[in-house]
Structure 1
Amino acid sequence: MTGLGLVTAAGTGVAANWARVKAAEPTAATDPRLAGLLVDIACPVTGFDPDRELGRRTAWRLDRYVQLALVAAREALRDSGLDPQAWDGARVGVVLGNALGGTTTYETQIRNLIQDGPDQVSPMLVPMAAINMVSGQVAMDCGARGPNLVTATACASGTTAIGTARDLLRSGACDVVITGGTEASLTPAIVSAFARMGALSRHTGDPAGASRPFDAGRDGFVIAEGAGVLVLERLTDARARGARVRACLSGYGASADAYHATAPDPEGTGAQQAIVAALADAGIGPDEIDHVNAHGTSTPLNDVIEARVLNRVLGWRAAVTSTKGVTGHCLGAAGAIEAAYTVLAIETGLVPPTANLDSLDAAIDIDVVSKTPREMCIEAAMSNSFGFGGQNAVLVFTKA
């Protein structure tokens, strides 16, 4: 893993993100765009000017979920030291995860259709809203002409994308893969739907304290937007060109609960299967995992079930955190963003604390880091993602 790029509510850029995550400073706030809805709090990316970041000519024809991904991808490529002007584009792939596509564009154009008629629907609706377009646009931006696809496994999408990217490298189909995830669905219909499902926190009077992973007082997640992009290469290739190797992606595991559309398997069987598969793929034992960036959504069911699985497989050895206390839940982008934070934890030897964890749920029996960062040597770390549809994906990273 040679390049990182991040755009989240915690900031634009890796440095800004890591500073806020280490400080366990929540980003949730009342969002004026959600005024009048059942839930009006979110973790939006603030201060993001797409015209400034991308140029007006480019920005106007892209949905926000693509705008965020392009900015993150450009940072990741700069960080990697790769020069798109010099590479063989046919050997560069793009695999990005996304759950919902261009919902901002879609909702806007539906309103135009209903209010003003069919001749007011933008001809750009399909190319802006289609879920595949983010990988296509990133490829156009940097001349990546290799395999190009989007993975859609709900809230595991970004993690699935990174695992798929790794497989493209292993197969020899690519020499470089730009991978990660993006989401920008802070729109009235989407937020209302999650609220009606009972998935969102109702702590609207205290937005900053609403996302409380593993805490006894948690009552749902805070919806968020963001993008995380990683650049992956084979280790031998990266070292041959003298690149800085930030970490190694050593293991990937995936599974399905085959249980329920939105509720996790109460036994955590599928999640455990994905964790065990990732460990086996990495060739390491459970007692070698030092740190886990948990899915940790702040929902009553997920956090308890995930904690039970981690206890069964890893015991108390691993220092666990959930960075969603800071960033909220970025849906299809969450796994990629959290993979980036996992890499940064390995690099810096620092496990960020779980924000808003004041009283650990008595049913949770794992070592959850809270209040202050924990300094420790991290040789191997895991990042978990579990999505609607019972789709699970787990990554294992090791020190370079």
Structure 2
Amino acid sequence: MPGHDVVVTGLGLLTPAGIGAAASWAGLCAGRPTAATDPELAGVPVDFSCALPDFTPEVLLGGRLVMRTDRFVHMGLVAAREALDDAGISPADWDPQRVGVVIGVSTGSMEAWAPPFASVAAGCHEEVSPFVVTRTLPNMAAAEISIDLGAQGPSLAVGTACASGATAIGVARDLVRSGTCDIVITGGSEATRVPIVATCFGQAGALSRRGHDPAGASRPFDVHRDGFVLGEGAGVLVLERAEHARARGASAAPVGLSGRAVTPPKARIRAVLTGYGASSDAHHFAAPHPEGRGAELAMRAALRDAALAPDGIDHVNAHGTSTPRNDLAEAFALHRVFRTPPAVTANKSVFGHALGGAGAIEAVCTVLTLQEQLIPPTANLEHPDPQCDLDVVTGSPRQARVRAAMSNSFGFGGQNAVLVFQTP
């Protein structure tokens, strides 16, 4: 039964700005960068990051579960539980075989490998935990969420580098649209604050070296940008077949985090996911196409899928990594697709770059922009790059009429994913 409308009925969010969607959104709208010196990265040339504040997985999930799983799984589980609660759905009330889980992960769990590698190198094989493999596999975020919630439909891991979270949402949308699932819990999760990850990205020249001013380091579209800042977090959405959502009483009445709800808060349709476009640069293993040709293809594909002309988009949540080449390539692509691009924001200026989790985090924020009719500001944009020439929201949130919004995500290997959300 292809062609089903796919709606967003629940949101879960963990970011360096706060634990939970409300706290994260408040921090994002305040435009407060979260980057700071990170004790976990002591001794690494780039020793700052954006870390989750006061995240206590043992309290939220229980000690036994936390012991056998890793941080990217912890974050995904907490975000999934919040999203399901936000949707007002109980696993007791669904057909478990019609519920899927699709979670994007990029690097997975590199920190868990260092101790067993050292033990094996020293010949101390008995010191290696039997949980090392099961806690590090990228599919374990989706697997543990499906176990936790009792979802028996397809459970998938998606890996498209920094586009993983957005690609996962697109794949999940297709599972619902095709009629395979009634509900899919989807998004992305990533724990990046690991010495080996920071060292590798630093050696590649991808990270900002603004160690004297970590809070000012992530500055998308600024002429003085010099690289991204590692972040971490998870974003999860509940996607649902529109007929299924309405049958359980979900309404499209305006609802947001600001208390404007006029319908029961446990039965709401936050947005419609109308467009998904994916493409490959087919250009370079790490660098984007210098003119953003692959990004352009994905944006145009998402617009076609949503049956929208470019002027139907009111806002773009940019990939906006704060690297010289990525921001410029994205700007070039935006100008070709839109001629005069709509208002742009870049969440990584506040959250840092959560790699495989970033696209999902930004998708949640894009849905909240539709709900609140409020575009969060981009932090640290002090000297806009004239080559980008974009209407980037800065300083304070911008109240705007946003009927349709685009969320861009681009990854190493030239893998691109673009989502289009519209008001219900």
Q: What TM-score bracket applies, with the shorter chain setting the length?
A: over 0.9
Give me the TM-score of the superposition, normalised by structure 1. 0.99
Aligned equivalent of 1:327: 351
CA-CA distance at 1:108 after TM superposition: 3.2
Asked whether 1:90 is paired with 2:114, we answer: no
Conserved? CA contact 2:404–2:420, under 8 Å: yes
Asked whether 1:292 is paired with 2:316, we answer: yes
SS at match of 2:93: coil
Of all paired residues, the percent bearing the same amino acid is 57
Conserved? CA contact 1:42–1:186, under 8 Å: yes
Please identify, of 182-191 and 139-148, the stretch whose mean Cα deviation from structure 2 is larger. Answer: 182-191
1:378 alignment partner AA: V
CA-CA distance at 1:38 after TM superposition: 1.1
SS at match of 1:254: strand
Asked whether 1:30 is paired with 2:37, we answer: yes
CA-CA distance at 1:292 after TM superposition: 0.4
Per-residue CA distance 1:132-178 (angstroms, 9 max, x = gap): 11111000000000001100000000000000000000111100000
Give me the TM-score of the superposition, normalised by structure 2. 0.93
Q: Whole-Å Cα distance in 2 between the matches of residues 46 and 87 of structure 1?
A: 34
Aligned equivalent of 2:377: 353
Q: 2:164 aligns with which of 157, 163, 167?
A: 157
Asked whether 1:40 is paired with 2:26, we answer: no
Per-residue CA distance 1:8-28 (angstroms, 9 max, x = gap): 111110000000000110110
Please identify, of 54-63 and 331-340, the stretch whose mean Cα deviation from structure 2 is larger. Answer: 54-63
SS at match of 2:171: helix
Per-residue CA distance 1:85-138 (angstroms, 9 max, x = gap): 221111000000000112221223323334572211111000000111111100
SS at match of 2:111: helix
Conserved? CA contact 1:64–1:104, under 8 Å: no
Q: 1:223 aligns with which of 217, 224, 230?
A: 230
Structure 1, unmatched stretches of 5+, are none
SS at match of 1:367: coil
Per-residue CA distance 1:340-363 (angstroms, 9 max, x = gap): 000000100100010111110111
Please identify, of 137-146 and 307-316, the stretch whose mean Cα deviation from structure 2 is larger. Answer: 307-316
1:18 alignment partner AA: W
1:341 alignment partner AA: C
Aligned equivalent of 1:78: 85
Report the count of equivalent residues.
400
Q: Whole-Å Cα distance in 1 between the matches of residues 123 and 86 of structure 2?
A: 46
Conserved? CA contact 1:59–1:67, under 8 Å: yes
Q: 2:410 aligns with which of 359, 383, 386?
A: 386
Aligned equivalent of 2:67: 60
Conserved? CA contact 2:334–2:341, under 8 Å: no
Q: 2:334 aligns with which of 280, 296, 310?
A: 310
Q: Whole-Å Cα distance in 2 between the matches of residues 348 and 109 of structure 1?
A: 47
Q: 1:203 aligns with which of 194, 210, 213?
A: 210
Per-residue CA distance 1:354-395 (angstroms, 9 max, x = gap): 011111011112211111111011000000000000000000
Q: Whole-Å Cα distance in 2 between the matches of residues 142 and 180 of structure 1?
A: 15
Provide the alpha-carbon RMSD of the alignment. Answer: 0.9
SS at match of 1:155: coil
Asked whether 1:341 is paired with 2:348, we answer: no
Per-residue CA distance 1:209-257 (angstroms, 9 max, x = gap): 0000111110000011100000000112212211200001000000000
Q: Whole-Å Cα distance in 1 between the matches of residues 125 and 229 of structure 2?
A: 35
Following superposition of structure 1 onto structure 2, how do residues 160-175 of structure 1 map, counting pairs within 5 Å? 160-175=167-182
